[in-house]
Amino acid sequence: MQIAVPSETHANERRVALIPDAVKKLVRAGFDVVIESGAGVHAGFSDTEYTEAGATLSSDTDALLGGADILLRVNKPALEDIKKVKRGALHISYLDPYNEAELIDAMAAQGVSSVSMEMIPRTTRAQKMDALSSQASLAGYSMVLLAANKLGRILPMMMTPAGTLKPARVFVIGAGVAGLQAIATAKRLGAKVDAFDTRPVVAEQVQSLGAKFVNIDLGEMGQTEGGYAKELTPEQLELQRLGMKDIISQSDIVITTAQLFGRPAPRIITKDMVEAMKPGGVIVDMAVGSGGNVEGSVPDETVVVNGVSIIGVANLPSETAQDASQMYSSNLFNLVTEYWNEETKTFNLNLEDDILKECVITHDGEIVNTAIKNLRT
């Protein structure tokens, strides 16, 4: 069975779906692995490393797409690429299935089975395959470094003969995987950190990292079965903004991580809240690629409002492409080998499996995922 990895074509994407170490393990398990020439170079992996790991290189993208039994990617494919994939092949990548109806329809029409890495459930068994979490952790780290690099002062307290420098104040909004890593990174750099999340249950995690949990009474709250924060009502959003405005005005760095799966991100910080910050302050909007948490943020641009820099990097994991590729590659390897039978050399796409029934979107010419099917009714 042939696994193929094409080069990523999305703008500013430096990650690769498989690293050489994973290729070596897959070859050992009985797969033939084909890598498009140069696919790993932006993540720090040479063609030579892939061939030494047992992969075959290809410079013919169409032949690579057409010959694969399993296609592994980071990002969703272009529509025109789907027509080049053979019927019955399995395509695994991020797909954004809630917002990419035309792409999903094309995969079904082509008879391509597809797995959406965003849809891997948050369960103990699926944890090793959870790409959203692995990439979010690196995004949290990168956000703090981007902000620290832009801020015109240091983060830690420093005592010198010339006087004492106070620690910078960092406010992290959202204490999911990315937010917790942002908190931990800011604390390691010596900042004073406040954090807020709509789920009171995460307060203990925030405090265990040395940050102060900000309590804002929003009424009845909670989280979804998958552990995500529930969407706020307009009234709750306004209460949240009022509760955060004073903290934001005192902060040197604000990091927002609030995202809603399959839907536009909530607008948390308004223009007047930005203008209340001190000139020289920095905001990093993790959700800029899905609508943005911050009024005025622009994907892949730094916008300056009243002296405050709003950083909007749409693909934060790509900032640490080598490590992000290693973690994503591990997620894919764990997914593929979980359902691979080395004796029969077959892949068992069992739609009754508790993981696959959540993340398989198309199979045998149909949309089989319940949540995505329900969007069409």
127 is catalytic: yes
CATH number assigned to the domain comprising residue 91 = 3.40.50.720
30 belongs to a structural domain: yes
Residue 155 sits in the same domain as residue 113: no
Residue 212 sits in the same domain as residue 302: yes
Q: Which of 314, 343, 372 is at the close of a domain? A: 314
Which residues have C-beta within 8 Å of that of residue 92, sequence separation ≥ 6? 70, 71, 72, 73, 114, 115, 117, 332, 335, 336
Candidates 2, 37, 133, 322; catalytic one: 133
Residue 173, judged by CB atoms within 10 A of its CB (0-12, 13-18, 19+), counts as: buried
* Intervals of the chain under pLDDT 70: 219-231
54 belongs to a structural domain: yes
Q: How far is CA 362 from CA 79, 262, 263, in A?
A: 15, 17, 21
The sheet with strand 169-173 has its strands ordered as 212-213, 192-196, 169-173, 253-256, 282-285, 308-312, 301-305
Residue 42 sits in the same domain as residue 102: yes
Q: Which of 314, 329, 355 is at the close of a domain? A: 314
88 belongs to a structural domain: yes
Residue 37 sits in the same domain as residue 6: yes
125 is catalytic: no
128 belongs to a structural domain: no
Candidates 32, 37, 96, 122; catalytic one: 122
Number of domains in the chain: 2
- The predicted structure's pLDDT at residue 285: 98
81 is catalytic: no
Helices (H), 77-130: 79-82, 101-110
Residue 204 sits in the same domain as residue 348: no
228 is catalytic: yes
Candidates 21, 228, 249, 323; catalytic one: 228
- The predicted structure's pLDDT at residue 93: 98
125 belongs to a structural domain: no
196 belongs to a structural domain: yes
Residue 341 belongs to domain spanning: 2-119+321-363
pLDDT tens string 5-64: 999 999 999 999 999 999 999 999 999 999 999 999 999 999 999 999 999 999 999 999
Residue 217 sits in the same domain as residue 89: no
Candidates 47, 81, 94, 130; catalytic one: 130
Residue 102 sits in the same domain as residue 181: no
46 belongs to a structural domain: yes
Residue 159 sits in the same domain as residue 295: yes
109 belongs to a structural domain: yes
Candidates 2, 32, 98, 127; catalytic one: 127
Residue 61 sits in the same domain as residue 99: yes
Among the listed residues 92, 49, 50, 87, the one whose alpha carbon sits nearest the alpha carbon of residue 70: 92
CB-facing half-sphere around the CA of 203: CA atoms within 13 A: 10
Task: Name the residue with tokens 């990174």.
Answer: 185
Residue 310 sits in the same domain as residue 325: no
130 is catalytic: yes
Residue 103 sits in the same domain as residue 140: no
20, 46 in Cβ contact below 8 A?
no
Residue 77 sits in the same domain as residue 145: no
Among the listed residues 323, 329, 322, 318, the one whose alpha carbon sits nearest the alpha carbon of residue 18: 329
